Amino acid sequence: MVRTAGGLSLRLDLRAVLSGALLLAVAVAATVALIGSGDYPMTPSEVLTTLTGGGTTGQEFIVHELRLPRVLVGLLVGAAFGIAGAAFQAVSRNPLGSPDMLGLSQGASVGALVVIVWFHGEPRTVAAGAVVGGVITGLAIFLLAWKRGVHGYRFVLVGIGTAAVLYAVVLYLLTKSTLYDAARATLWMTGSLSGRDWSQVGPLAAVCAVLIPVALLCARPLRMLEMGDDAAAALGVRTERVRITVLLVAVVLVAAGTAAAGPISFVALTAPQLARRLTRAPGPNLLPAALMGAALLVGADWAAQRLFGADQLPVGVLTGVLGGGYLLWLLVAERKAGRV
């Protein structure tokens, strides 16, 4: 318990604070390592020197123009996916409630493919199409799942059904595309940080700067919602207003992240669960999930470059392989616990 000068008290969970500090340190270390990786390798000291304005002209160009935007997009997308996944899992009260499973990623993919296949759009219009597709999908799932409120398994089941329908639409669009557009669409759907520049950093940073604080303000009501709607309402929580706010914030975060880097799979599913296991704290653990998502995505991109060479393996492939294994383990654990 920490008491401020004004007489206010703030309860801090020491393990959660230390876990957050550890995740932040891992994210920073992965950031420095990723900036130093590539065809022109740099040591951590050279990276830090260049970031603080002391590098050579060549190093400054490589870091500030080529690598730093890619890393920043990875950090922001990982944080957005992590906090959105934690929000979805808290609202649905289901560890499988993530954008990967509920159709939001597929909706963003449909929006992007419509722009690619029908309009042959440029990257910026493709990103806009992904945002529109993700937001429309999120609203559709919310409306279809609404019946005197939004409740856990109904929300998840509607999302899974929507994901299946949208995946079929993705396949249809691919069959109607030219070979060039199909290659573009497939590369985009894989999910990658390659080639990201400052034009992706600015809009994504603005979205995260506005919406992540809104999500964090909802952390306490979300924690109360885990006790049930009646108990939360008795404590003064406006349950449906909190759910609607959190879902809208999470949908926009997922759509913006997908627009910037493609539908990188399983980060939103695994980051909240790993953060919760690390902190062992009740509640949605929104901030630890954001830090975990950022560390996971940047770390996975660094591992992909170290194992397979620069830009040889999109980070979405590696997260898909690792996340798929985690999903199988999670399903087995849920089955043993009698929840599925």
Q: How far apart are CA 40 and CA 279, in angstroms?
A: 38
The mean pLDDT of the chain is 87
State the pTM of this model: 0.90
Euclidean distance between the first and the last CA atom of the chain, given in angstroms as a whole number: 38
Residue 257 has pLDDT above 90, yes or no: yes
What's the pLDDT at 201? Answer: 93
Look at residue 255 and tell me if it is in a domain: yes
Q: How confident is the model at residue 123 (pLDDT cuts 50, 70, 90)?
A: confident
Residue 6 reports pLDDT greater than 80: no
CA-to-CA separations, 133 to 99, 106, 174, in angstroms, rounded: 13, 9, 16
Task: Count structural domains, the chain.
Answer: 1
Residue 269, CA distances (Å) to 21, 177, 293, 301, 328 in order: 22, 31, 10, 17, 12
CATH code of the domain containing 95: 1.10.3470.10
What would the mean pLDDT of 119-124 be, rounded to a whole number?
Answer: 87
> Which one, of 137, 149, 108, 140, lies nearest residue 256 by Cα?
108
Question: For residue 310, what pLDDT is reported?
Answer: 65
Q: Say if CB 44 and CB 36 are below 8 A apart.
A: yes
153 lies in some domain:
yes
DSSP letters of 226-272? TT-HHHHHHTT--HHHHHHHHHHHHHHHHHHHHHHH----SHHHHHH
For 19, the domain range is: 15-35+42-49+72-336
Contact (Cβ atoms closer than 8 angstroms) between residue 102 and residue 88: yes
* Domain presence at residue 5: no
- CA dist 61 and 243 (Å) reads 45
Q: Let me know if residue 218 belongs to a domain.
A: yes
Is residue 59 in some structural domain? Answer: no
32, pLDDT greater than 60: yes
Is it the case that residue 338 has pLDDT exceeding 90? Answer: no
Q: Would you say residue 168 lies in a domain?
A: yes
Q: How confident is the model at residue 67 (pLDDT cuts 50, 70, 90)?
A: very high
198 part of a folded domain? yes
Counting Cα atoms < 13 Å in the Cβ hemisphere of 65 gives 6
Examine residue 92 and state whether it is found in any structural domain, yes or no: yes
Question: Each residue of 190-207: pLDDT tens digit?
Answer: 888 988 889 899 999 999
Neighbouring CB atoms inside 10 A of 209's CB total 10
Identify the band that residue 249 occupies on the pLDDT scale cut at 50, 70 and 90: very high
Question: How far is 256 from 207, CA to CA, in rounded Å?
Answer: 7
236-245 mean pLDDT: 84
What φ, ψ does residue 2 adopt, rounded to 5°?
-110, 130
User: Confidence class of residue 236 from pLDDT cuts 50, 70 and 90?
Assistant: confident
What per-residue confidence (pLDDT) applies to 49? 93
Q: Which of residues 278 and 38 earns the better pLDDT score?
A: 278
Instruction: Over range 104-120, report the average pLDDT.
Output: 92
Residue 167 pLDDT grade (very low, low, confident, very high; cuts 50, 70, 90): very high
Residue 9 has pLDDT above 70, yes or no: no
Lowest mean pLDDT among 76-80, 212-216, 322-326: 322-326
